[in-house]
């Protein structure tokens, strides 16, 4: 085996309730005090973080392509385009031809009108089975299936932006986002890939996903509170967001004269059965693995805490032991499941560039930024399973 | 001590255990007998009412199934079963302690119609049930089991607990190439030295009314319902679509040094794999076949072989007019004059298309083909397509000398993968 290669992040794209672009999101975070970009009315009593208005034409020029996608896919394709643009590879057919891609995605939105009509009509139907078949066959739009399949986010990124090296889609909420970046990091470090896009999108501000989340009694009800302070059971504020990162070997980036946003130093992912104390133990073990590489007087933490309990308190306890300054993005941009971790890596890259932290919000946002920020640790404690930790640093 | 290295200096990846469930049966030996006999596992659907459907046939797996079972639970059951078969054959680790990660290819998970109807019933609404109504009743205690059932990670998490695999289980999809991608991820992790072994599983139990309708709406399914066993006819002139099927397969992938050191039986070697995405269209492949060709060439390059080395091709061969034509085009371009002389067969003629499991199912069957030096046929090949010049091993199994084989998987959304499987090292 050849020696491990250095891995750089050379592009980042982000869209959220705060707007589009990593820098714009960061500026909003810096002034979002108290947090304001949430909606308590549309899905009352639940708190949501709907996507800021986006002109999709800017990254998805063909209306025909936009029509083939629902919001989930459009958001992801848009964020991927921002990341490619930021990395300076957008439209570069030579690079895109061999570029790899790992996507973290669940599924797209259902047609709630069709579903509602079927649920409403089934009781009166003389033959319920035949009724279901007939309604589905005549009411489902053929293109909707393609707008729902998780791997079709990758498919659409390929079609719109021209990435055709390879694509793989990981499913499984927050852990999928962490593993998408981890596997990419390891592949690039080992020479199995030279340049990859890691991207994700989540459209949580919709009834069908509110439903599956509330089956676990997990939605945040108004009034809004910071993720750290949502009471005994906590609550998730469902969000819309899309994030993309271009990850490549130092060698590949230097050859094409790309400027790095950050070096990806380490990334850990693991799981446990979530018995009391297990989240803290997994995070502590992940921290121990990366600790030798941490410059403690120049490092801060960007947390992906979801607001759900007990995971959020467990993370808070684990971070208190580590002792670095902490900021959670969830209080501002809501919770975006598969996408939160990659969004936070993008925000961490911008934190390195700004050299500052955005203001604290809630009891777990502790500490002040050191005089120089050269490293950011990014956490991901899944709302249900999966714990991840990454370390990036300034180059 | 590292003894085996491939031409690129990487660890060599062996297959040391396999498990298989298809509509033909449970267990790889049972399946093999039926595959070699040219049996079909396709039947008329009897699991739910078929009135009004354009396609009324499928390959269902009865193993682990019971009426009303959520597909994700059925997927988990058959994934466990094939995983157990593979680990038992491999003899690796100990019960509940598999020394490596899990890569699981599976279909997306959703709430299903029976769940929605239960929730709708609870709303008390009579003629206008909305999602807002469902959300209102969803926090009732009796619906709590639906929560975990609809989690995307649930199957992977439960399998990780069951087998004691290491680290975060990766659930993945590349549509119809997913099973091959799971194997590829395992091969890459072993080559990186991250682990000595990996468990790759593909499992799919998608025969539900909505899945049948969705694929029907894309005009992807065969509508030759009258004779279910004859509907899947890859490479035939009168093919008209694929037949939806369920299935699962598992492979224990292992660093060859590690396998040899513990005296494991080596079933086959995976010298390499390749991918190439197609961005021509969401469901159709590039007319010039470039991505399919590139995918196979990438696999040869990764495996350090040439087209001359390939003795058998396990086709993607879905039986759709488009796929089989494009696969033919791609193979002619890659293998040139030799293309019509290399035997190629489609397991889907007997099993149907197991979607996200297909790549793993067919990798297992390809390995057995090498082990037995006998090729399962492409059945239902009565009217050859004059546009296809391949030797599709029509209707009857055939003995052959096979050292190196490839298994192709091409997916909706443009995800193509090709695995190279060899009977021995070098």
The CATH number of residue A310's host domain is 3.40.47.10
In terms of C-beta density within 10 A (0-12 exposed, 13-18 middle, 19 or more buried), how is residue A57 classed?
A: exposed
How do residues A384-395 score in pLDDT, each as one tens digit?
999 999 999 999
- Alpha helices (runs of H) in B315-410, residue ranges in sequence order: 321-335, 348-351, 358-372
Instruction: Give the domain CATH number at B81.
Output: 3.40.47.10
Report whether pLDDT(A63) > 60: yes
Do A177 and A292 lie in a common domain? no
Whether residue B206 is contained in a domain is answered as yes
How many other CB atoms are found less than 10 A from the CB of residue A37?
18
Same domain membership, residue B309 and residue B220: yes
Residues B213 and B169 in one domain: yes
Alpha carbon of B88: minimum distance to chain A alpha carbons (Å) = 25
**Nearest residue to A215 (alpha-carbon basis) of B106, B135, B408, B17:** B135
| Most B-contacting residue of A60, A70, A164 (CB-CB within 10 A), to test interface | A164
pLDDT at res. A147: 87
pLDDT band, very low/low/confident/very high, at B131 (cuts 50, 70, 90): very high
**Same domain for B415 and B358:** yes
Residue B263 lies in a domain: yes
Report pLDDT digits (tens) over B47-79.
Answer: 999 999 999 999 999 999 999 899 999 999 999
Per-residue model confidence as pLDDT tens digits over B343-385: 999 999 999 999 999 999 999 999 999 999 999 999 999 999 9
**Would A235 be classed as within a structural domain?**
yes
CB contact under 8 A, A137 and B110: no
Find the closest chain A residue to B120 by CA distance. Answer: A119
Pairwise CA distance, residues B362 & B407, whole Å:
7
- Looking at the fold, whether B352 and B390 belong to one and the same domain comes out as yes
For B285-342, write each residue's pLDDT tens digit: 899 999 999 999 999 999 999 999 999 999 999 999 999 999 999 999 999 999 999 9
Give the residue from A66, A147, A162, A167 with the most B CB atoms within 10 Å of its CB, the best one to mutate: A167
Whether residues A151 and B411 touch (CB distance < 8 A) is answered with yes
Residue A131 lies in a domain: no
Taking residue A113's Cβ as centre, other Cβ atoms within 10 Å add up to 11
Q: Is A136 within the bounds of a domain?
A: no
Report residue A2's pLDDT band, with 50, 70 and 90 as the boundaries: low
A203-217, A250-264, A341-355, B118-132: lowest mean pLDDT where?
A: B118-132
Q: Do A34 and A154 fall within a single domain?
A: yes
User: Peptide bond preceding A310: is omega within 30 degrees of 0, i.e. cis?
Assistant: yes
A314 lies in the same domain as A382: yes
Kindly state whether residue A82 falls inside one of the protein's structural domains: yes
Contact A245, A12 (CB under 8 A): yes
In a domain, B2, yes or no: no
Residue B23 placed within a domain: yes
Q: What confidence category does residue A3 fall into, taking pLDDT thresholds of 50, 70 and 90?
A: confident
H or E segment to which residue B200 belongs: strand B197-204
Looking at the DSSP bridge assignments, the partners of residue B244 are: B353
B172 in the same domain as B117: no
What's the pLDDT tens digit per position in A71-109? 999 999 999 999 999 999 999 999 999 999 999 999 888
Domain final position from A236, A255, A274 = A255
Residue B356 belongs to some domain of the structure: yes
Residue percentage of chain A with pLDDT more than 90? 96
Digit-coded pLDDT (tens) for A180-209: 999 999 999 999 999 999 999 999 999 999
A255, A290, A321 — which closes off a domain?
A: A255
Same domain, B132 and B275: no
A261 neighbors A376 (Cβ within 8 angstroms)? no
Of residues B393, B415, B367, the one with CA closest to residue B38: B393
**Which residues of B are designated catalytic?**
176, 316, 353
Q: Is residue B233 part of a domain?
A: yes
Q: How buried is residue B223: exposed, middle or buried, by Cβ count under 10 Å (0-12/13-18/19+)? A: middle
**B94, B126, B149 - which closes a domain:** B149
Domain assignment present for residue A126? The answer is: no
Is residue A179 located within the same domain as residue A284? no
- A116 found inside a domain: no
Q: What percent of chain B has pLDDT over 90?
A: 94
- Average confidence (pLDDT) over A151-180: 96
**Do B162 and B126 belong to one domain?**
no
**Cα(A353)–Cα(A356) distance, integer angstroms:** 8
Q: What's the structural domain count of chain B? A: 2
Contact A149 B153 (CB under 8 A): no
| Chain B residues 251-290 with CB within 8 Å of chain A | 275-279, 281-283
Look at residue B43 in the predicted model and tell me its pLDDT: 98
Model confidence at A143, pLDDT cuts 50, 70, 90, reads confident
Q: Which tens digit of pLDDT belongs to each residue from B190-232?
A: 999 999 999 999 999 999 999 999 999 999 999 999 999 999 9
* B163 lies in the same domain as B223: yes
Query: Is A217 domain-assigned?
Result: yes
Question: Residue A352, SS3?
Answer: helix
CB contact under 8 A, A217 and B291: no
In the predicted structure, residue A1 carries a pLDDT above the cut 70: no
Pair (B226, B87) in one structural domain: yes
Q: Which of A255, A276, A311 is the last residue of a domain?
A: A255
Whether residues A11 and A99 fall in one domain: yes
Mean pLDDT of A239-265: 98
Q: How far is CA B54 from CA A144, B151, B372, in A?
A: 19, 31, 39
Same domain, residue pair A278 and A337 = yes
Enclosing domain of residue A103: 7-111+143-255
CB contact under 8 A, A134 and B52: yes
Least confident piece of the model among A146-150, A323-327, B158-162, B262-266: A146-150
Least confident segment among A141-155, A256-270, B32-46: A141-155
Residue A72 inside a domain? The answer is yes
Enclosing domain of residue B297: 13-109+151-422
Q: Note the pLDDT tens digit of each residue in A208-231.
A: 999 999 999 999 999 999 999 999
Write down the pLDDT at residue B337: 96
Average pLDDT of span B388-400: 98
State ipTM.
0.98
Which residue in A175, A178, A207 is closest to B135 by CB distance? A207
Asked whether residue B117 falls in the same domain as residue B196, the answer is: no
In-domain check, residue B78: yes
Q: Are residues A37 and A104 in the same domain?
A: yes
* pLDDT reading at B1 higher than 60: no
Q: What is the mean pLDDT of residues B32-46?
A: 98
How many domains is chain A partitioned into structurally? 2
> Quick one: B50 and B141 in the same domain?
no
Q: Do B268 and B409 sit in the same domain of this protein? A: yes
Nearest to B173 among A115, A150, A166 (CB): A150
């Amino acid at each position: 085996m050849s020696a491990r290669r250095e891995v750089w992040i050379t592009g980042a794209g982000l869209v959220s309730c705060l707007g589009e672009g990593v820098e714009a999101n960061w500026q909003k975070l810096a002034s979002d005090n108290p947090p304001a970009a949430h909606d308590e009315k549309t899905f009352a009593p639940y708190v949501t973080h709907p996507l800021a208005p986006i002109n999709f034409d800017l990254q998805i020029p063909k209306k025909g392509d936009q029509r083939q996608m629902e919001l989930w896919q459009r958001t992801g394709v848009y964020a991927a385009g921002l990341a490619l643009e930021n990395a300076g590879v957008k439209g570069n057919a030579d690079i895109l031809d061999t570029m790899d891609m790992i996507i973290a995605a669940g599924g797209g939105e259902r047609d709630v009108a069709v579903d509602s009509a079927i649920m409403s009509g089934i009781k009166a139907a003389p033959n319920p089975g035949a009724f279901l078949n007939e309604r589905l066959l005549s009411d489902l739009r053929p293109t909707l299936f393609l707008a729902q399949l998780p791997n079709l986010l990758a498919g659409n990124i390929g079609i719109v932006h021209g990435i055709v090296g390879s694509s793989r889609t990981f499913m499984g909420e927050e852990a999928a986002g962490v593993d998408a970046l981890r596997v990419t990091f390891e592949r690039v470090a080992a020479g199995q890939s030279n340049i990859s896009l890691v991207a994700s999108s989540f459209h949580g501000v919709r009834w069908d996903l509110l439903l599956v989340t509330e089956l676990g009694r997990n939605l945040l009800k108004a009034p809004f509170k910071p993720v750290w302070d949502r009471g005994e059971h906590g609550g998730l504020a469902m969000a819309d967001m899309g994030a993309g990162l271009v990850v490549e070997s130092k060698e590949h980036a230097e050859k094409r004269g790309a400027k790095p946003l950050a070096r990806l130093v380490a990334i850990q992912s693991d799981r446990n059965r979530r018995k009391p104390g297990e989240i803290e133990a997994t995070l502590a073990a992940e921290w121990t693995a990366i600790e030798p590489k941490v410059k403690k007087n120049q490092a801060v933490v960007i947390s992906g805490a979801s607001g759900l309990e007990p995971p959020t308190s467990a993370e808070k306890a684990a971070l208190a032991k580590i002792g670095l300054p902490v900021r959670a993005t969830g209080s501002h941009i809501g919770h975006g499941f598969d996408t939160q971790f990659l969004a936070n890596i993008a925000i961490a890259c911008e934190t390195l560039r700004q050299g500052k932290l955005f203001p604290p919000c809630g009891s777990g946002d502790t500490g002040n930024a050191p005089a120089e920020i050269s490293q950011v640790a990014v956490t991901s404690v899944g709302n249900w399973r999966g714990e991840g930790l990454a370390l990036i640093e300034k180059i | 001590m590292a003894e085996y290295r491939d031409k690129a200096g990487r660890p060599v990846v062996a297959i040391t255990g396999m498990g298989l469930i298809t509509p033909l049966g449970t267990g790889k030996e049972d399946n093999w007998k039926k595959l070699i006999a040219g049996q079909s596992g396709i039947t008329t659907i009897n699991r739910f009412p078929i009135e009004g459907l354009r396609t009324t046939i499928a390959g269902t797996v009865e193993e682990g199934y019971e009426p009303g079972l959520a597909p994700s639970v059925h997927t988990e059951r058959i994934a466990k079963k094939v995983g157990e078969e593979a680990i038992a054959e491999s003899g690796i680790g100990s019960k509940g302690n598999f020394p490596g990660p899990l890569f699981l290819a599976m279909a997306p998970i959703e709430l299903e119609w029976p769940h929605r109807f239960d929730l709708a019933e609870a709303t008390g609404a009579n003629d206008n049930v909305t999602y807002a109504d469902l959300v209102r009743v969803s926090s009732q205690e009796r619906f709590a089991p639906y929560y975990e059932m609809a989690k995307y990670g649930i199957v992977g998490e439960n399998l990780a607990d069951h087998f004691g695999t290491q680290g975060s289980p990766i659930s993945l999809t590349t549509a119809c190439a997913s099973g091959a991608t799971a194997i590829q991820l395992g091969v890459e992790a072993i080559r990186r030295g991250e682990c000595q072994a990996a468990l790759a599983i593909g499992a799919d139990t998608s025969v539900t009314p909505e899945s049948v309708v969705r694929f029907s709406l894309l005009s992807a399914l065969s509508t030759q319902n009258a004779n279910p066993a004859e509907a899947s006819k890859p490479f035939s002139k009168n093919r008209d679509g694929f037949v939806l099927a369920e299935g699962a397969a598992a492979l224990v992938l292992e660093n060859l040094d590690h396998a040899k050191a513990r005296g494991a039986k080596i079933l086959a070697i995976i010298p390499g794999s390749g991918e190439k995405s197609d961005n021509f269209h969401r469901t159709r492949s590039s007319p010039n076949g470039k991505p399919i060709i590139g995918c196979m060439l990438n696999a040869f390059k990764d495996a350090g072989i040439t087209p001359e080395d390939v003795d058998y091709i396990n086709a993607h061969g879905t039986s759709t007019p488009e796929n089989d034509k494009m696969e033919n085009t791609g193979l002619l371009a890659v293998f040139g004059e030799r293309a019509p002389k290399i035997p190629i067969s489609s397991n889907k003629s007997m099993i149907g298309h197991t979607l996200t499991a297909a790549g793993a199912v067919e990798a297992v069957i390809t390995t057995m083909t090498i082990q037995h030096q006998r090729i399962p046929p492409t059945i239902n090949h009565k009217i050859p397509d004059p546009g296809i010049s391949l030797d599709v091993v029509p209707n009857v199994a055939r003995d052959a000398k096979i050292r190196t084989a490839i298994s192709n998987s091409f997916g909706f959304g443009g995800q193509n993968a090709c695995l190279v499987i060899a009977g021995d090292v070098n």
